[in-house]
Amino acid sequence: MDKVVILDFGSQFTQLIARRVREAGVYSEIHPCTADPEKVKALNPQALILSGGPSSVLDPASPALDSAYLEWGIPILGICYGMQLLSHNLGGKVVASSEREYGRAEFQAMNDCPLFEGVEESDSMTVWMSHGDRVEAIPPDFEIMGRTESIPFAAMGHPGKRIYALQFHPEVAHTQDGALVLQNFLFKVAGLNPTWSMASFVENTIKELADTIGDAKVVLGLSGGIDSTVAAVLLHKAIGHNLHCIFVDNGLLRMGERQEVIGFLEEHFELNVKCVDAADEFLDKLDGVTDPEKKRKIIGHTFIEVFDREAKAIDGVKFLGQGTLYPDVIESESFKGPSAVIKSHHNVGGLPEKMNLKLVEPLRELFKDEVRRAAYELGMPEHIIWRHPFPGPGLSIRVVGAITRERLEILRLADRIVQNELLASDWYRKVWQGFAVLLPLKTVGVMGDDRTYEHVIALRIVDSVDAMTADWSRLPSELLARISNRIINEVKGVNRVVLDISSKPPSTIEWE
């Protein structure tokens, strides 16, 4: 299978490049620009893409391009900082600019560059720029492949060496025909074949897992979320009953969650799942705790204790399976440019170190929506594939304030109504997440002839693409009214429902 390596110089768009390449049907991997070129070479890539980045090649402390990469003779595409690096390394000239050019620019392709074949308005193409420095002289033997009003060398190339570079970002949606420009690099310049598909990914992954693991046993923490579930099914297909899944019921799950997930996995995939009922252990430790960060820490530590104990009871375990996704890998391994985000939601941080097991992470190359496609490929049913994300600390961070069994039960009942109504009205798939939150206050109401003094439920229902930003979903008022009426009528102890209409930022999706 053809493979493209993307060297990450810290651009916020590096992941987008990987995505576009994969959407074109070519397998790609991101490696930090500090990677050892020999190790990258051993991966046998057929083409290289150099990402953008926030640095200046004029600053000696900036990340450089190891000239070894230029000696392999494989096609290279430099983007933004990647173009400046190529220029700098190959004898061109890069100059600092007093102003940063940011936003749209009109680009004019030149010299029949193969990158712009099929682009509709290649003599006036809208492209997205984000750079300070620019190339002032291209390297010897290179041709100008395009310009904008403000920069004479907005694209350059050396057809013989199959090295091309763009000052703009083809990977962002604002660049007109940007995906086509990248495809032209992959297919017209590098001559790659679009053989990567989710079906081939699933097949190859199962084979690779079987080879790597052999007869050893693997233990995996199954949360019921899509990531760990898909990881479990892939591992199960590779090694069968040598996969031991542990599902920890922490007493903070949604109504029917345990039965729904475990039942399905046992029935359809004959998965080896041990359900550990640790609700008392978790709830006892959470007794009287109101601080959100303390709740998270207690839950994280308790999870590790329970999981470690259970895993040690299984003989001969050598591997720890995890449903780590690509963005998580990038966050921990990326060259630290502005793309590096501090991950705040480590649920099982510290587990691999503590357990001294080798990690197997079959999803580490995929984005969330790709995991969903893999789930389809594996024949998982839609209701599992499209379940809304659910946080590791579970309902504990939706029972605002002190957690008691009684308050958890009220929340579960209210939340089930929210879930059911979203599903029944077809809004479930349209929103990113929708759930109920139990507030730490009581208010006055009237029911029949009686005054009531009871709990308040808030509805948190949001639209988002990646949970980094979110906005409250504009649901039809009839649906909101139905949810509210049902909660107040059916959930004993609740006499008021309010709607959260804050966006993220400055609010967050979860309340704690």
Cite the active site residues.
80, 169, 171
Residue with the two structure tokens 């590790």? 304
253 and 422 in contact (C-beta within 8 Å)? no
Q: Is 466 exposed, middle or buried (0-12, 13-18, 19+ CB in 10 A)?
A: exposed
Per CB under 6 A, 368 contacts ligand XMP: no
Per CB under 6 A, 510 contacts ligand XMP: yes
Per CB under 6 A, 509 contacts ligand XMP: yes
Binding residues with ligand XMP: total (CB under 6 A): 13
Per CB under 6 A, 392 contacts ligand XMP: yes
Residue 226 in marked binding region:
yes
Per CB under 6 A, 508 contacts ligand XMP: yes
363 and 231 in contact (C-beta within 8 Å)? yes
Per CB under 6 A, 298 contacts ligand XMP: no
Cβ distance to ligand XMP smaller for residue 268 or 504: 504
Per CB under 6 A, 322 contacts ligand XMP: no
Per CB under 6 A, 391 contacts ligand XMP: yes
321 forms bridges with which residues in the sheet? 220, 360
The whole-angstrom separation of Cα 473 and Cα 502 is 10
Residue with the two structure tokens 């503590």? 354
Per CB under 6 A, 323 contacts ligand XMP: no
The whole-angstrom separation of Cα 352 and Cα 318 is 11
CB of 432 to ligand XMP, least distance (A): 7
Which of the 8 DSSP states describes residue 433? Answer: E
The whole-angstrom separation of Cα 35 and Cα 54 is 18
Q: x/- site string to ligand XMP, residues 433 to 452, per CB under 6 A? A: x-------------------
CB of 75 to ligand XMP, least distance (A): 39
Residue 410 in marked binding region:
no
Out of 32, 152, 389, 445, the only residue in the binding site for ligand XMP (CB under 6 A) is 389
CB of 468 to ligand XMP, least distance (A): 8
Residues 93-122 that bind ligand XMP (CB under 6 A): none
Per CB under 6 A, 132 contacts ligand XMP: no
Q: How far is CA 9 from the centre of its chain?
A: 19
The whole-angstrom separation of Cα 251 and Cα 399 is 13
41 and 70 in contact (C-beta within 8 Å)? no
CA angle 427, 428, 429 (to 5 degrees): 95
Residues 184-213 that bind ligand XMP (CB under 6 A): none
CB of 463 to ligand XMP, least distance (A): 12
Q: Which stretch binds ligand XMP (CB under 6 A): 121-129, 282-290, 389-397, 484-492?
A: 389-397
225 and 390 in contact (C-beta within 8 Å)? yes
CB of 237 to ligand XMP, least distance (A): 25
CB of 507 to ligand XMP, least distance (A): 8
Out of 216, 329, 467, 479, the only residue in the binding site for ligand XMP (CB under 6 A) is 467
Q: Which stretch binds ligand XMP (CB under 6 A): 34-42, 126-134, 386-394, 413-421?
A: 386-394
Residue 98 in marked binding region:
no
Q: Strands 143-148 and 217-221: what pairing?
A: unpaired
Per CB under 6 A, 393 contacts ligand XMP: yes
Cβ distance to ligand XMP smaller for residue 337 or 393: 393
Residue with the two structure tokens 């970002």? 169
- List Cβ<8 Å contacts ≥24 apart for 449-456: 452/495, 453/495, 454/493, 454/494, 454/495, 454/496, 455/407, 455/410, 455/493, 455/494, 455/495, 455/496, 456/494, 456/495, 456/496, 456/497, 456/498
User: Which residues form the interface with ligand XMP (CB under 6 A)?
Assistant: 296, 345, 347, 389, 391-393, 433, 467, 504, 508-510
Binding residues for ATP, as ranges, are 223-229
